[in-house]
Structure formats: C-alpha cells, structure tokens
Amino acid sequence: MKNQKICIVDDEPKILRFISANLKSIGYEVSTVSSGEELFDKFDLISPDLILLDIMMPGQDGFYVLEKLRKFSNVPVIMLTARSNAQDKVQGLNVGADDYLTKPFSLDELFARVNAVLRRTQSSFADSQTAETPIIRTGVLAIDLGSKRCWIKDEEFKLTQTEYSVMEILALNLDKVVQHEVLLSEVWGPQYRDDIEYLRVGIARIRRKIKEHLQNKEEYIATYPGLGYMLRSIPQE
C-alpha cells in the first residue's frame, strides 16, 4: 500500500479534505483536483495508481471525464456519486469505471473499495503459471500473461486492468465455463459475488473491443445463461 498514489477529483472542498486526510492516515499518497480539466492538466505530473472521480461536477461531469480518460489511460477509477440509481451505475461501468461508490459512504467501505481495486489491478492471478504458458492463443486472439497485454493478429487492443483480469481468468480456463460468482469473486472480490451487473458490463466491453479489430464476427466469449462465460478455442486462420 505504501507509495501508492490516489487522485481525488471532486468540486467540493470538504469532500476533498475529508477523503484525502483519511487516505493519507493509512499510508496512501494523495493528490486532489477540483475538475476534469485540472486532472488532465496535471495527469502526467500526478501519475496516479487510482482515481476517485465524482460524477456530479459543473462543466465536465464524471462520465465525460472518464470517457475522455479512457482514450489514453487504463488507470483504475472508482466513481463517487450522490445518486444511487442503477442507470448511473451501469453508465459508469460502461464508460470504463472499475467500481462505484454512493455518497454518503463509511470510511470502512471507502478503504475496502480502494484496497480491493488496487489489489486486483496490481496483482496477477496467474503468477505461478505464466512461466509455462506465457501466451494463450485462440483464433487470431493472443493473451500475453507475462506482459498482461492482448493482441489480435499484430495489433494490440487496450483493456482496462479490471477487464484484463477477467480476460486472464477466462484464458486460463480456455474452453471451460467459468461461473459468474467465480469471476466476480476473483476479479472484484468475494463481496461482489452476487453483483452480476459488474460482470455483464465488463464482458460486453471486452467483446466490443475484440470485435472492433475483427473483420469477421466470430464470438470468442460464449455466454451460458444463469451459469457463466467461456473463452472459446477457435482454429487459427
């Protein structure tokens, strides 16, 4: 946890001070900005490991900021909002959020979410296996477990760190159905094992990114309703 850098983006000074002080108290390095514009201006200087991003800000709202951020960075993002409706949650996940936290929240919940996101985006689920199977291939798709990057033919396609974690587990279980609760527990944490929306949106984003690089519409990830997902073994072209 030491030296991990968190950037908080919120236009409310009290919120910035409150979250910043408490994250610093448990060892994080914290930067604060009051707008998306300021985040982009200082992004390279801050170089955050995680961003806490408020949705309801004047000017550029959190959805717009995240969509713009995802064009050049896969840094994990937890969205903060005073609105708890499901549509906002899905919209945030659809544009690339790693998690979603509704105000007001307890410090214990904040710490748990931050720790969970940093743990899953900075660790490997396959450290012991990468030496034997550094690259898993199916069709024109290659998952490089060593570099944690994905390729279609010779072109890399970008996944967020959370999306890559989902892909990695599916790749390590090629041609096997991975149950919803297993994926949710392994990637997001045991407390998310019943929150299927995270997984449904994540799989949809991965599929969309794969298809953007394909001339055919081969479906690499198969859905097993009520059970889980499977990365299919497809013959090489």
Q: Give the pLDDT score at 13.
A: 93
Tokens linked to 17: 């001070």
Q: pLDDT below 50 — which residues of the chain? A: 1, 124-131
Question: Exposed, middle or buried by CB within 10 Å (0-12, 13-18, 19+), for 90?
Answer: middle
Q: List, in order, residues 6 or more apart from 197 with CB less than 8 Å away.
A: 86, 89, 90, 93
Q: Give the pLDDT score at 82.
A: 81
Tokens linked to 124: 């490997």
The strand ranges marked E within 73-166 are: 77-81, 99-102, 135-138, 141-144, 149-152, 155-157
| Local structure of 156: helix, strand or coil | strand
Tens of pLDDT along 87-137? 788 888 888 999 999 888 899 999 999 998 888 777 644 444 444 558 899
Whole-prediction pTM? 0.78
Four-CA torsion 58, 62, 67, 68, nearest 10 degrees: 50
Give the residue from 177, 168, 171 showing the smallest Cα distance to 224: 177
Cβ–Cβ under 8 Å, residues 12 and 32:
no
Cβ–Cβ under 8 Å, residues 93 and 119:
no
Q: Give the pLDDT score at 63.
A: 93
Q: Give the pLDDT score at 6.
A: 97
| Local structure of 7: helix, strand or coil | strand
What is the C-alpha separation between 173 and 232, in angstroms, rounded?
9
Find the farthest-apart pair of alpha carbons in the chain and give their distance in angstroms, rounded. Answer: 57
The H-or-E segment that residue 44 falls in is: helix 36-46
Give the residue from 27, 1, 91, 85 showing the smallest Cα distance to 53: 91
What is the C-alpha separation between 230 and 215, in angstroms, rounded?
22
Q: Give the pLDDT score at 41.
A: 95
